[in-house]
Amino acid sequence: MEIKNNNIADNIRQQAYNAAKELCECAALEPGQIMVIGCSTSEVVGCRIGTNSDVDVAYELYSGIKQALDEHGVYLAAQCCEHLNRAIVIEREAVPQADIVNVVPQKKAGGSFATAAYQNFRHPVVLEEIRAHAGMDIGNTLIGMHLKAVAVPVRLSVDRIGAAPLVAARTRPKFIGGCRAVYDDRLGVDHRTD
Of 138, 133, 141, 144, residue with least CA distance to 94:
133
Express each pLDDT in 149-194 by its tens digit: 999 999 999 999 999 999 999 999 998 888 788 888 887 666 554 4
Tell me if 12 sits within 8 A of 112, measured CB to CB: no
Domain ranges, ordered by start, for the chain: 6-173
Q: For the whole model, what pTM was predicted?
A: 0.90
CATH number among 3.40.50.10540, 3.20.20.70, 3.40.50.10360, 3.40.50.150, domain 6-173? 3.40.50.10360
Higher-scoring residue by pLDDT: 141, 189:
141
Q: CA separation (Å) from 63 to 20, 67, 151? A: 11, 6, 26
